Structure 1
Amino acid sequence: MTSRSISAMEEKGGRGSGHRTVCVTGGAGYLGSSLVKKLLQKGHTVHATLRNLDDQSKVGLLKSFPEANTKLRLFKADIYNPDEFNTAIQGCDFVFHVATPLQSNTQSSQYKDTTEAAVAAVESIVKSCIRSGTVKRLIYTGSVVAASPLKEDGSGFKDSMDESCWTPLNLPINYYGFETLKDYTYSKTISEKKLLSYACKENKMELVSLACGLVGGDTVLSYISGSIACLMSQPLNDPISYQSLEFLQELMGKVPIVHIDDVCEAHIFCMDQRSLQGIFLFASDFLSTKEIADYFCLYHPEICIAEEFHGRNGSEVRWGSTKLNDVGFKPNYDAKLILEDSLQFLRKMGSFK
């Protein structure tokens, strides 16, 4: 694995390595915490938002990062109270909107479901960015679940999956009884459409949506995130997480996967460009659940995967997105490295010997 040359990135249109002030919403989550750490390492000042500043496990994690004493500021902000993000955004050059509601907040009477909350947060954050007068670009952490290649008429999949695809919201997809999966798919799809509508209406700053595949790899967290649990559900023999993995294949034909380090670097790459906007799908590989299980059976026979988790072949749909590659970003991690690093993390957590 080779590291990307910073100077080469700058030659391809980057802003260079100047230090900036940036906001990361959802700064203590799986992706947010790794992004905060990497931004601090690169010398940027980071405004990170958390739902609860009294949660010492999350606050302590972020404050433990190198340079946090001088370059990290923490702000309380909750998706279900989207106006709270305004203070964290003030004075920032760039905003990474990573936070997203996964389950409906039953204590909130303001929004009936996660979709309403997510859309309201996008609206509020975009307006805060515009009001700030300093934010040059909002980079939204999207998801490939918003870009399903399923045809609108329900007759199967398109030939390829790329930025022209939008997940149809009126298809009788089997959600295996998990309303959270449906709510998450709806909220990410509608939120991204809402975000892009501002690109047409306001045109006062650039808007980027980085729609990421299922994220794996090591993490700074001390627990197993839902994303890693889903990706590694077969070697874990975890029926609930495996149903989520099968849902992704049903939605997209196969499962797009990507390494967390590449995701963080891609976010920063999107910040570093002189000018960039629009949707960019991002995955390093596109695997069926059978291919994932076959990998572990072949290279890690010590891990016993039960028959019901051996997966199935995906559809013939191919990964057709090249936009991020075309503007100069190349991922460092292939499928093997993604799966191996995810396994190494699980071993560190004591899931395997």
Structure 2
Amino acid sequence: MAAAARKCVCVTGAGGFVASWLVKLLLSKGHYTVRGTVRDPGNAKNAHLKALEGAGERLQLLSADLLDYDSIASAVAGCEGVFHVASPVPSGKSTNPEEEVIAPAVTGTLNVLKACYEAKVKRVVMVSSVVAVSNNANWPKGKLFDEDSWSDEDLCRKGEDWYFLSKTLAEREAFAYAAKTGLDIVTICPSLVIGPLMQSTVNTSSNILLNYLKGERDTVENKLRNLVDVRDVADALLLAYENPEASGRYICSSVPVKVSDMISILKTLYPMYTYPKKFHRSGGKYHL
């Protein structure tokens, strides 16, 4: 395809778990030129992106920081579409949540959206999370969570669920910005994302699964887990971008599965590991 006929899109945080699969999907289509923002394009941890089919001709990695507006503006200039995937996911308790988690998520999102508006980007597809949906004590008991539910910000603060709060605030700010400017924004809210790793580092959601294989705890909570395959999330992001009728927010999840059932499946596939032996009951807080 002639270079002029290709559509240029930007993927923020391109080296991450979800973003890597999205970049691979976009390149596989043949008609997208992809700009990926990363902290350091020369870092070996981004080598998997450069090795993708079509990357040599149609992938450009740019150094950008979500809190540096100019670097983001340079990355999205001339792009028809932007996939905002980058967001901090804390691996442990944060000592300064406002600075470490919330500011990068909220200010970073607003920087991306402002840059998109200035660049006249046609559509922005943003990765949010079901944690921006399901932490809502006022939702009718027994009713399945849907896209009309928003996590309660005060409840997030009270429980020190800083990641929940960051995703909720960032998504709300995105729709407020869309209402103010007319920028076309669609959000995808995936549940716990699992699947094959392309990058060399283990991400937070995959670690949750890996912890069950380590046998570090004899007893675990038999909670319901809502899971989604990383490749399905990439498909959902592209569908939201390419479908002109897409609007608002979309939950991306599969049917819930009990931790005990997950471990049974893992035991069948990988019998050599040590697994938790006992399960204690859970309130089963989320219904998606």
TM-score normalized with structure 1 length: 0.70
Deviations, residues 32-90 of structure 1 (Å, cap 9, x unaligned): 111111111111100000012341331x2221111111111111111232442111101
Residue 55 of structure 1, aligned match among 18, 43, 50: 43
Residue 166 of structure 1 deviates from its aligned partner by 1.3
Deviations, residues 191-244 of structure 1 (Å, cap 9, x unaligned): 0111111222111x31111000111111212333221111342233356xx99x
* Gap change, CA 1:36 and 1:172, over 3 Å in 2: closer
Amino acid of the structure 2 residue aligned with 1:76: S
Name 1:164's counterpart in structure 2. 148
Name 1:148's counterpart in structure 2. 134
Q: Secondary structure at the match of 1:65?
A: coil
Q: Secondary structure at the match of 2:256?
A: strand
Counterpart check, 1:213 vs 2:199: no
Amino acid of the structure 2 residue aligned with 1:142: S
Amino acid of the structure 2 residue aligned with 1:262: D
Name 1:202's counterpart in structure 2. 181
Residue 131 of structure 1 deviates from its aligned partner by 0.8
Distance 1:26 1:37 in 2: 14
Residue 114 of structure 1 deviates from its aligned partner by 1.7
Name 2:18's counterpart in structure 1. 31
Distance 1:57 1:293 in 2: 30
Residue 79 of structure 1, aligned match among 66, 77, 97: 66
* Gap change, CA 1:69 and 1:21, over 3 Å in 2: same
Map 1:94-105 to 2 at 5 A: 94-103=81-90
* Gap change, CA 1:151 and 1:79, over 3 Å in 2: same
Amino acid of the structure 1 residue aligned with 2:274: C
Residue 157 of structure 1 deviates from its aligned partner by 4.8
CA RMSD of superposed structures (Å): 2.9
Does the CA contact (< 8 Å) of 2:45 and 2:199 recur in 1? no
Please, which runs of 5 or more residues in structure 2 have no aligned partner?
A: none
Residue 19 of structure 1 deviates from its aligned partner by 4.0
Query: Aligned residues, how many?
Result: 277
Distance 2:99 2:196 in 1: 35
Residue 293 of structure 1 deviates from its aligned partner by 2.7
Q: Secondary structure at the match of 2:53?
A: coil
Q: Secondary structure at the match of 1:161?
A: coil
Distance 1:140 1:237 in 2: 36
Counterpart check, 1:65 vs 2:43: no
Distance 2:270 2:27 in 1: 36
* Gap change, CA 1:300 and 1:81, over 3 Å in 2: same
Distance 2:55 2:127 in 1: 23
* Gap change, CA 1:137 and 1:290, over 3 Å in 2: same
TM-score normalized with structure 2 length: 0.85
Distance 1:162 1:212 in 2: 12
Distance 1:194 1:174 in 2: 21
Please, which runs of 5 or more residues in structure 1 have no aligned partner?
A: 1-17, 320-353
Amino acid of the structure 2 residue aligned with 1:122: T
Distance 2:90 2:69 in 1: 16
